[in-house]
Structure 1
Amino acid sequence: MTQHQQTIGARIGFNGVGVHSGAAVEMAIHPADADTGIVFHIFEPSGLIREIAAVSTNVSVNDLSTVVGDMAGVHVATVEHLMAALYAMGIDNAVVEIDGREVPIMEGDSRAFVEAIEGAGIVRQRARRRFIRVLKPVSVEMKGATAQYLPYEGTRFEIEIDFATAAIGRQRFAADLTPETFRNELSRARTFGFMKDVERLWASGHALGSSLDNSVVIGDDDRVINPGGLRYPDEFVRHKTLDAIGDQAMAGVRILGCYRSYRGGHRLNALALRALLADRTAYEVVEMPARVAARGGKAAPLAAVAASAYGPQVL
């Protein structure tokens, strides 16, 4: 694990659609100075209208996706797949310019973002990284779902899901997070849903851009209806792990600890992260490898300083 902050080596451009809005989206990721963090620049035809840092205090908690900003006003939705790729591939600083209210869904996973980051190259910066080291267990529970942060010398995810449908059932994925593990084991796992829920989602203005090109769909006969089937036998839990990584990235700095969840989702992930950051005795802020820093410091201020989709274009 590198001790220094990193950014991308060149501008990366994307075109696609929002999975919920169905609207066309253009997005570009730019290199950024050390201690910038990940910041979204939201544009309209009139120009830049808002800058929003990708930190926990700016997350609007909901079940369908991770949203930064004000759900009733200026915001960017479905940031989790992009945030997972940036976090897992070791990108600390970047400016994300976007002309819509939703990150393009691409293939419903993080693969396009990972390939674009690797194509642009990763640049090491002089500033040292700061980490949140978990010191004691922190747990949250919600309607039978549980999530917990545990001390661990590394960054680890242990994710378990349990669905009544036979197409999914009970699945578990556990691994230390590295760029290689994310690229090979998680980045291609797609978002998923049930055909029986489609009409309800459409009526509420969601899933308007969802298709078999960007989602795994379970039909009324309890079978996956995508012509190509699954990419992994346990693709469902792998995607939930991908989501959890993207949601943890909203800490704004990297977490040294184990995140464990059972029947989790975006809301539970966000609540668990908030619970950790709210307990000043549960973590310390450190630079690696030294165990000296602002014990019990707040993470958010550190970070604040800090249909068919088409593939990325590195410029």
Structure 2
Amino acid sequence: MIHQRTLSQTISASGVGLHSGERVKLTLRPAPPDTGIIFRRTDLTPPVELRAEPALVNDTRLSSTLVDPNGVRVATVEHLMSALAGLGIDNLIVEMTGPETPIMDGSAAPFIYLLDSAGISEQTALKRYIRVLKPLEVVEGDKWVKLTPYDGFTVSLEIEFNHPVFRRTPQHLTIDFAAQSYIDEVSRARTFGFMHEVEYMRMNGLGLGGNLDNAIVIDDDSVLNKDGLRFNNEFVRHKILDAIGDLYMIGHPLIAAFSGFKSGHAMNNKLLRELQARPDAWEYATFRRPSDAPSSFHRLPQAA
């Protein structure tokens, strides 16, 4: 049987929020079956919990931010959510002493290390997948995202930036997780931004914690980071990392092919809401034998 997963033990780390600039302590705690991913703001009295779900993603300016009906926020959750998807973690309590998850190095790799250090435990309940049965698409101008039926999980994205750095690097990539590893191919790709956007972001209270240690920074014609890029196509790889985190907001792994052109957090969230609004377009799936599951889900690291 393919079971749900949580952590074997509690683990903590500290860091700075990319946009808030605030230092925050992050504590990851095991959670019972069918809990899902719960973010808990422990800096508030009493603590406030927000479930990772599409309906609470109500701010998508440069990140995915959960906002509850009372305005309590948990910002920039997509990198951690991406790591959780990559390791198949179903149930977790994410305690935070501030309004934004730490950016770490701008990728999901530090979260992978943290989760792996805590250990992964299988639980008694069966893991539930969402199998997409009918094509779904969201279009805005020349931008689009879509989900199509597929016996596995693939992500295919194309970005388009009229900039010398991007013209020198591949801007399209497809990752098929039946053959490729999230940890090796996706998790290390960092977020990126342009020097000319810094003033705008600071005026809007964004990017206050950004620097060359936690983001790729691009000027008029080059990458400013001393060590350059980790992959020749790191930009589009990071967009795939983001998309995986955004899609995991639905609470279950998707059995589908996801594709997009010039998409971002807002469109990814709209696609999930469209999926939820179309009960004829999907179904839950469980697998009693691991061999019955699509091969895309055979590459998860072994649980303890």
Residue 120 (structure 2) pairs with residue 130 (structure 1): no
Work out whether 1:13 is the aligned partner of 2:12. yes
What is the distance in 2 between the residues matched to 1:181 and 1:10?
A: 25
What residue in structure 1 maps to residue 96 of structure 2? Answer: 98
Secondary structure of the corresponding residue to residue 210 of structure 2: coil
Match of 2:263 in 1: 264
Shift in CA distance, 33/102, structure 1 to aligned 2, threshold 3 Å: same
Indicate yes or no: 2:239 matched with 1:240: yes
> Could you tell me how far apart the structure 2 residues matched to 1:70 and 1:284 are?
27
The code of the aligned residue for 2:171 comes to: Q
Give distance in 1, aligned partners of 2:281 and 2:8: 35
Matches within 5 A, 1:171-186: 171-177=171-177, 181-186=181-186
Using structure 2 for the length normalisation, give the TM-score.
0.90
Match of 2:215 in 1: 215
**Aligned counterparts of 1:208 and 1:5: Cα–Cα separation in 2:** 37
1:202-251, CA deviations, whole angstroms, 9 ceiling, x for partnerless residues? Answer: 1111100000000101112x211111100000000000000000000100
Q: CA deviation at 1:146?
A: 0.6
List aligned pairs for 1:59-98, cutoff 5 A: 59-70=57-68, 73-98=71-96
Q: How far apart are residue 70 of structure 1 and its match?
A: 3.7
What is the CA distance between 1:72 and its match in structure 2? Answer: 7.4
| Aligned residue runs from structure 1 range 267-278, under 5 A | 267-278=266-277
Q: Is the 8 A contact 1:89 1:178 kept in 2?
A: no
- 1:275 and 1:64 mapped to 2: Cα distance? 21
How far the C-alpha of 1:58 sits from its partner, in A, is: 1.5
In the superposition, relative to structure 1, how do residues 49 and 251 fare at CA in structure 2: closer, same or farther (>3 Å)?
same
Deviation at 1:285, TM superposition (A): 1.4
CA–CA distance in 1 between the matches of 2:31 and 2:46? Answer: 17
Shift of 1:52: 0.7
Contact 1:147 1:272 survives alignment (8 Å):
yes
Distance 1:276 1:78, change over 3 A: same
Give 1:30-41 correspondences, 5 Å limit.
30-41=29-40
Which consecutive residues of structure 2, in runs of 5 or more, have no partner in the other structure? 290-304
CA distance in 2, matches of 1:20, 1:226: 19
Measured after TM superposition, the shift of residue 61 of structure 1 is 4.0
**1:233 aligned partner, one-letter code:** N
- Return the alpha-carbon distance in structure 2 between the equivalents of residues 179 and 118 of structure 1: 22
| Counterpart residue number, 1:304 | none
State the Cα distance separating 1:177 from its structure 2 match: 3.3
Q: 1: distance between equivalents of 2:262 and 2:288? A: 34
Distance in 2 of aligned mates of 1:58 and 1:178 = 31
Q: Work out the CA distance in 2 between the residues paired with 1:138 and 1:238.
A: 23
Could you tell me how far apart the structure 2 residues matched to 1:144 and 1:223 are? 27
Please say if residues 88 and 178 of structure 1, whose CA atoms lie closer than 8 Å, have aligned partners that are also in contact. Answer: no
Give, in angstroms, the shift of residue 49 of structure 1: 2.5
1:197 aligns with 2:197: yes
SS for the counterpart of 1:119 is helix
1:134 and 1:115 mapped to 2: Cα distance? 31
TM-score (norm 1): 0.87
Distance in 2 between residues matched to 1:204 and 1:273, nearest whole Å: 27
In structure 2, the residue matched to 1:303 is none
What SS does the aligned partner of 1:232 have? coil
Q: What is the match of residue 284 of structure 1? A: 283
State the AA in 2 paired with 1:223. S
Change (3 A) 1:262 1:289: farther
Letter of the aligned partner of 1:101 in structure 2? P
The answer on 1:29 being equivalent to 2:5 is no
What are the superposed Cα offsets for residues 292-312 of structure 1, whole Å, 9 maximum, x if unpaired?
xxxxxxxxxxxxxxxxxxxxx
Deviation at 1:179, TM superposition (A): 11
Q: Pick which of 46-55 and 99-108 moved more.
A: 46-55
Cα distance in structure 1, aligned partners of 2:35 and 2:244: 20
2-structure distance, mates of 1:217, 1:72: 35
| Matched residue SS, 1:168 | helix
Q: Secondary structure at the match of 1:28?
A: strand
Q: Does 1:109 align with 2:120?
A: no
The amino acid that maps onto 2:83 is A
Return the alpha-carbon distance in structure 1 between the equivalents of residues 48 and 179 of structure 2.
Answer: 31
CA offset digits 1:16-73 (Å, max 9, x no partner): 00000101111100011111110011112x6443111111121114231101124972
CA shift at 1:154, angstroms? Answer: 1.0
Q: How many residues align?
A: 287
1:288: Cα distance to partner? 2.0
